A and B are shown apart, each in its own frame.
Chain A
Amino acid sequence: MTEATTATSVRRLNDQISVIDIKGEITAASESTLMDAFNEASGDATKAVILNFGGLDYMNSSGIGLLVTLLVRAQRQHQELLAYGLNEHYRQIFELTRLDEAIGIHDTEDSATAAAGR
């Protein structure tokens, strides 16, 4: 399969909220990188994981499938999944795939964090 370039970094804002900063591509080849980041972001007390797509350059349909898998994992752990930093193109993809019905989309990290705290 085509190799993807995905870089992630995990920030814990507090015990309950973590942010995963995503840079590069999301394709089938990103699976282990994304899942490792999610494991890193999820603690026992974590209530919300926020995905920062500000550095996203490319995503194909396998990549959007990975986000569904991530969502299922979050739901299984009773965690909320939120997102911010999506440009207009990727917002449209979330709308097309109706992922925006399950992942809260926000303009900024502050608004995603505020929503996560509610």
Chain B
Amino acid sequence: MSVDKESPSGGSTRRDDEAWAKPTPALEVTILPEGAINRNVAGRRVTGPIQGFGRMWQKTYRVRMSGVDIDPTEVIKTWKEHFPEFWPEGNRFYGPLTGIAPGEVAVLNLSMPGRLKLSTGVMVMYADDESFTFMTPEGHMFAGWITFSAFKEGRSTVAQAQVLIRASDPLYELGLALGGHEVEDRFWQTTLTTLAARFGVEDPAPETRYLLVDRKRQWRMAKNVWHNAGVRSGFYMMGMPARWASKRLKRKSPPYTSEGSSQNSDL
């Protein structure tokens, strides 16, 4: 038996060769500004929704650029160039100087409850003129992909962030159930509101849509908790006072050679 089905006609002349990152066994982080906490990124593998633990969600956040005549490609260009500026206050995105391009890795320092700074990252999986997609490393709260796109709907341009994710491990899954979904929703709604405001949209009203793609939890992935960036960032922050004190002590006490003479302490 054979059934032919086709979506709207018009041959494909598009190319995707340059838009995709190349496979990588482990992430590498290049130069970072001072003050950035670079933990849980370098050496980690990237993950997708297949490798996560929790239920699989597709969440779509959209904002309509009402009253503004702007081309979708212009929205994506600006979004790529100024990505960190649209993030909610207290969260930092340390992207590469080369900008958002396939294969590039960014370090994220995210504000968590209890003044915890969660350090994790993303890799640019895909980027073209109409959209770009991040994928997450092991230890990130989500295993999955986040796609940012812009397109025409009727006369308006719509900017969209769409996540296809599972919580990476049981701890994060619990966190999502205890209000994590709402925190994430607010994060992307704020991002889209700021983006729309940049283009002069008055009173942007982001919409949110949820789709539970898979209600099953993947218990064989519970072991992902070993990489949990929240737990590891917590331990790292708890050790900060000790590391600070140790540095101070090293700076104060002059090191001696075996002959007992003082040496330059910049060792």
Q: A5 contacts B7, CB within 8 Å? A: yes
Cα distance, A1 to B152, chains bound together (Å): 6
Q: B131 contacts A61, CB within 8 Å? A: yes
Minimum Cβ distance to chain B for residue A104 (Å):
13
Q: A99 contacts B151, CB within 8 Å? A: no
Q: B12 contacts A24, CB within 8 Å? A: yes
Cα distance, A60 to B151, chains bound together (Å): 15
Q: B17 contacts A60, CB within 8 Å? A: no
Residue B130 interfacial (CB < 8 Å): yes
CB-CB under 8 A from B58, the residues of chain A are: 65, 69
Residue B115 interfacial (CB < 8 Å): no
Q: Of B18-26, B29-37, B197-205, B259-267, which binds chain A?
A: B18-26
CB-CB under 8 A from B130, the residues of chain A are: 2
Q: A11 contacts B1, CB within 8 Å? A: yes
A-side interface residues toward B, CB under 8 Å?
A: 1-12, 24-25, 29-30, 32-33, 36-37, 40, 57-62, 64-65, 68-69, 71-72, 75-76, 89, 92-93, 95-99, 101-102
Q: B125 contacts A61, CB within 8 Å? A: yes
Minimum Cβ distance to chain A for residue B143 (Å):
10
A29, A40, A97: the one contacting B125 at CB < 8 Å is: A97
Chain A residue at minimum C-beta to C-beta distance from B10: A5
Q: A5-B9, A60-B131 are in contact. List 15 more A-B contacts (CB 8 A).
A: A3-B7, A5-B6, A5-B12, A8-B5, A9-B2, A24-B12, A30-B7, A58-B12, A60-B16, A65-B164, A72-B214, A89-B16, A98-B46, A98-B47, A99-B50
B-side interface residues toward A, CB under 8 Å?
A: 1-12, 14-17, 19-24, 46-51, 56, 58, 125-126, 128, 130-131, 133, 135, 145, 147, 149, 151-153, 162, 164, 213-214
Q: B51 contacts A101, CB within 8 Å? A: yes
CB-CB under 8 A from B7, the residues of chain A are: 3-7, 29-30, 32-33
Chain B residue at minimum C-beta to C-beta distance from A101: B50
Q: B14 contacts A58, CB within 8 Å? A: yes
Cα distance, A6 to B6, chains bound together (Å): 6
